[in-house]
Structure 1
């Protein structure tokens, strides 16, 4: 683990050096200007290209008496988010995004009523096909997009995925495959008609999937608890750098330069689960932005906030500005389980975790796997580690015994193989095929042969059950002026369908044609004969 931490820090330092060089150039360019402001585009490049933590940029600029163009940075971040939303554009591509924009310009709006209710009566105000073209109706099996005057469906935003559910009308039903939020005032539902037809401007009943919403809420509330736990365990330098909340799991990016240790991961999991077991009620309120910040609410750098914001507080654990959907109390999360911790950029870590039934299912699967391993090693689940250690020791001991036996066999084979020595123009040449368990055993035999030959050239070959060939050529040093093992093996390796090379005294080749071994031997003898 220490090695992993060192590697993480070395990687961070290399990227940091590149980013610092760019930052220094930009600071020098603006420090003598009247405005003394670091451009938002530069800040975004440092953040996006180099994975440069925003906090470091702010701290360095502040020490030089230079401000940071937060509005410019926010604008570039918004553009990046729009590009990221390309994933839900589907085949319609830019056409769909352009259509959403035109809806806003036309004054189309939809009221979100889903914080306190999962269902509502509403009316379709826009109905489109998959190509984003207005239609009067969609029939069974057809997919499209619709906007209603009000909706309980939460549209993908703030890192939280969109709701799923059903929409019913007198003429038919539709499944909501996804919900998008191109703008704070516009929610678009991606649907597939499952029965009958859906018509524009008709009254509909909208019902969000409680299972999907609750699963997302578990992960979103636990994202806030995780953020707070990270700051308590790792330090106040931890700040959110991104997040993703889906029904299946949560992903949280944060500023920290090294990999988490097993001890830290355990502390974080215990911290979050303690808050879950305390069943703390969530306090959600809307208030003025300035008042929320005074209250201690954490605002994310680069995010745009309106004058009035939504504050989600979990007692003394967490106070954050958030527009997402949450649990009413932490106990509804059930449990929290960290799946992984990894680096995504210089100084940026990523944790993936599961909650509720997903966390429970993972724990059950891990227990089942542990019992399976215990059965394989003929031990008990609680003593698997010790049993594996014992088997490893047994394996090392057996391997040592096998190596000793192989060495004895090599010595024995070496003596037997000496009968294959032929004299070619005064040079002793030995070429033989042997059956050995591995390349090391082949080398051991070759070492024994070189000792017995005194002066000469030896070539050994072996092939495994799949026909993979290994060739060794050795030339005693007194003959290296005339013959070099690396050159010889390079010329004969083609016979076994391979290539090779090495030193003047020892060389190795591999191939896949065991039928060519004898031809390789004959070619070697021909090369020695000249």
Structure 2
């Protein structure tokens, strides 16, 4: 799908024709993983641009400040695809003396916003760490030009930063909650967060239960609703570690570290941006828990308004289900669903019983069409029924034969299928899969199965007489 654009719907259709199903849920998980890989590859390309020789040799320092207030500063370096230039008129990168833009690091995405002076206007689309630790800003000019030495004003998109902070602090709460619920073996194995959602990878040997997920979600929300202040302090690394601070995955630390503390619940070394109080997060909702490798699980979650929208969507879905089930009181929707399923299962069994009886009668009517091939009873018939009905008919016809082989072909809604049933007493001599393979070769179809039953599908049944002759020749 991702490489050649082959539609999932066609994959499902072709699979069904051959008697297979498609793991659509698994497809979505793998599609998300591929999107993550593509996103990471884009980041690597940008990082590679920042590794060019001009940037490697550029050592003029720059300073990052956490304050999001507009920051006046001076341009100290201009680059185009990583190569040093004197002027930018369209797009490129710049380094300034002081910046309030967070560079992508520690799983947190970079800030975006704008830069301007009386000479130019520009969008800041990304910020990465240059080889010598400076903040490298990717800019797109909308007017004018920028030169080294220009005084510029940097303005962070504070609304977006606030959403990022919600997700980052929630990630710390999630890490602590997982350790509390699952055990001390839980360790961070990766993370990513932006303004829309958070993703947290952690070590754990098995899929989390519904009860465990609920406990984790409840614990995170408990600390959000408590409105706990988030304290940020700098201290010597050894002092922070001895005080119980958790070092995050794949993070490099200096001698002096930044410690983010949420009450007595979470203490971590972190250079990212955070809310001042957990109440600002608003709400936390887990959307998915999946495996990303042996012994590594992943949780994806949303916060704040996105979490509310996720809950609202669930409520709307519940209301739709209630409408379908004609359940006016949503509190009784489970009871209504159980009653409906009981009724449907009863009716399904009755339909199966009646269908078997009808098929038995039809099989008797087909008695005149039963041939004898090499001493074996053989029946071929064509119907226009869906796969499930045609398959059941093959089973019932086979049972009515007592001893013999049945071939049922079906055309329904443009799909052509065939089913071969062999009674148990003949499976030492004949295999249903072998007979289906013989039909596949004639019909250009696909399929297979067990010794006593197999099925296949083909684009057309125009050569069905030749296919039946091929089956008979196998007998």
TM-score scaled by length of structure 1: 0.73
The answer on whether the counterparts of 1:89 and 1:96 sit within 8 Å (CA) in structure 2 is: no
1:432 alignment partner in structure 2: 381
Output one character per residue of 1:261-294: Cα deviation in whole Å (capped at 9) or x when no partner: 2222112112111111121122212222233233
- 1:183/1:329 CA distance change after superposition, 3 Å: farther
1:447 alignment partner in structure 2: 399
The equivalent position to 2:105 in structure 1, one of 138, 143, 157, is 157
State whether structure 2 residue 360 is matched by structure 1 residue 406. no
Deviation at 1:155, TM superposition (A): 0.7
Deviation at 1:460, TM superposition (A): 4.0
* SS of alignment partner, residue 97 of structure 1: coil
* SS of alignment partner, residue 134 of structure 1: strand
- 1:293/1:444 CA distance change after superposition, 3 Å: same
Deviation at 1:498, TM superposition (A): 3.2
2:319 alignment partner in structure 1: 371
- 1:312/1:408 CA distance change after superposition, 3 Å: same
Distance 2:339 2:185 in 1: 43
1:208 alignment partner in structure 2: 156
The equivalent position to 2:43 in structure 1, one of 88, 92, 109, is 88
2:201 alignment partner in structure 1: 253
2:59 alignment partner in structure 1: 107
* SS of alignment partner, residue 166 of structure 1: strand
- 1:258/1:386 CA distance change after superposition, 3 Å: same
2:333 alignment partner in structure 1: 384
- 1:193/1:201 CA distance change after superposition, 3 Å: same
* SS of alignment partner, residue 130 of structure 2: strand
The equivalent position to 1:133 in structure 2, one of 75, 83, 93, is 83
* SS of alignment partner, residue 361 of structure 1: helix
Distance 1:464 1:429 in 2: 24
* SS of alignment partner, residue 468 of structure 1: strand
Deviation at 1:122, TM superposition (A): 0.7
The answer on whether the counterparts of 2:106 and 2:250 sit within 8 Å (CA) in structure 1 is: no
Deviation at 1:135, TM superposition (A): 2.8
Deviation at 1:473, TM superposition (A): 6.3
Distance 1:117 1:286 in 2: 19
Deviation at 1:117, TM superposition (A): 3.2
Q: CA RMSD in A?
A: 3.3
- 1:418/1:258 CA distance change after superposition, 3 Å: closer
Computing the radius of gyration from Cα coordinates, the structure with the larger value is 1
Deviation at 1:461, TM superposition (A): 3.2
2:462 alignment partner in structure 1: 515
Distance 2:41 2:449 in 1: 53
Aligned length: 433
The answer on whether the counterparts of 2:111 and 2:156 sit within 8 Å (CA) in structure 1 is: yes
Distance 1:479 1:106 in 2: 78
Distance 2:195 2:377 in 1: 75
The answer on whether the counterparts of 2:383 and 2:390 sit within 8 Å (CA) in structure 1 is: no
Which segments of 5 or more consecutive residues in structure 1 lack a partner in the other structure? 1-83
- 1:487/1:147 CA distance change after superposition, 3 Å: closer
1:470 alignment partner in structure 2: 418
Output one character per residue of 1:295-346: Cα deviation in whole Å (capped at 9) or x when no partner: 3322347643222221222221222221111111111111111122223333
The answer on whether the counterparts of 1:164 and 1:209 sit within 8 Å (CA) in structure 2 is: yes
* SS of alignment partner, residue 274 of structure 2: coil
The answer on whether the counterparts of 2:247 and 2:269 sit within 8 Å (CA) in structure 1 is: yes
1:355 alignment partner in structure 2: 303
The answer on whether the counterparts of 2:55 and 2:84 sit within 8 Å (CA) in structure 1 is: no
Distance 2:218 2:452 in 1: 61
The answer on whether the counterparts of 1:475 and 1:485 sit within 8 Å (CA) in structure 2 is: no
1:6-405 alignment, distance < 5 Å: 87-90=42-45, 94-99=48-53, 101-102=55-56, 105-113=57-65, 115-129=66-80, 131-139=81-89, 142-182=90-130, 185-300=133-248, 303-379=251-327, 380-405=329-354
Deviation at 1:505, TM superposition (A): 7.6
Distance 1:121 1:423 in 2: 95
Deviation at 1:85, TM superposition (A): 7.2
The answer on whether the counterparts of 2:282 and 2:303 sit within 8 Å (CA) in structure 1 is: yes
TM-score scaled by length of structure 2: 0.80
Name whichever structure is richer in helix by fraction. 1
Deviation at 1:429, TM superposition (A): 5.7
